[in-house]
Amino acid sequence: MKRDAANEGAAHRSLADLAYEQLLAMIVRGEYPAGGKLPSEHALSQRLHVSRPVLRQALQQLRVDHLIVSKQGSGSYVTRQPDSAVLEFAPIGSIADIQRVFEFRAAIEGEAAFHAAARRSDADLARIKSALMALDICVQEGKLGTDADEAFHSEICKASQNDYFLTARQSMKPNILKGLTLTRSLSLTKPKARLDLVQREHHAIFDAIKAKDQTAAREAMRAHIENARSRLFESNMIVAT
């Protein structure tokens, strides 16, 4: 009985993910433009062939992503239209999973940075700095830099002196690399100031770990990952709500 319930829950989440990604694609392609109102829940559930509870989960995720806002008694409105490049680099079917990986990373890597700030050795700091410098070069030369980015975050987990942080992260490495490649690819489509901003976030993490400021290291790491998640749906078209 418990197994059946678990399977039903997994199927329910899968349907919600599918509905979320379909709605996201419609918003990205301008079918539901920024400032426009979404159809009613009844109309959307019929169009997507999902139940109202499943649809509400999908709409909740869009609200978390700051793509729609719901007004009581009025309905849901699109607040921004993400760059169409997001669908070029992340095919439908992968975006919901990538978003969950960001949530996982913010929790795991925030704590890893907290402990790395207290426990890192000079050798650890040197390895983190080496990865950071490699990222600096990638930014200067306009290269993707996924491997250097991955090395930077991995070295911080190692510096925490807690193997469980590294093991947890390694278990998700293919998914993490997919998210890193996506966000860095999107950044390369933007003015260089975008990559410079991302790199300043990396430097803030390094500086906090170097200074052995645990709280600042945790906050800088979480802010960086949460900003990366938000930048996934960055748009020049944002509607005031």
Residue 76, strand partner residues? 70
Contacts 24+ apart (CB under 8 A), 69-75: 69/241, 74/37, 75/37, 75/38, 75/40
CATH of domain 87-231: 1.20.120.530
In the chain, what is the greatest distance between 2 CA atoms, to the nearest angstrom?
A: 60
Q: What is the 3-state secondary structure (H, E, C) of 115-138?
A: HHHHHCCHHHHHHHHHHHHHHHHH
Q: What is the pLDDT along the chain (241 residues), one digit of tens a residue?
A: 344 443 444 444 589 999 999 999 999 999 999 999 999 999 999 999 999 999 999 999 999 888 999 988 889 999 999 888 888 887 666 888 888 899 999 999 999 999 999 999 999 999 999 999 999 999 999 999 999 999 999 999 999 999 999 999 999 999 999 999 999 998 998 888 989 999 999 999 999 999 999 999 999 999 999 999 988 887 654 454 4
Residue whose entry in the numeric block shows the structure tokens 């000079």: 122
Nearest residue to 209 (alpha-carbon basis) of 67, 90, 110, 104: 110
Task: Give the CATH number of domain 2-81; options: 3.40.1280.10, 1.10.10.10, 3.40.50.300, 3.20.20.70.
Answer: 1.10.10.10
Q: What is the pTM of this model?
A: 0.82
Domain boundaries, the chain: 2-81, 87-231
Cβ–Cβ under 8 Å, residues 235 and 86: no
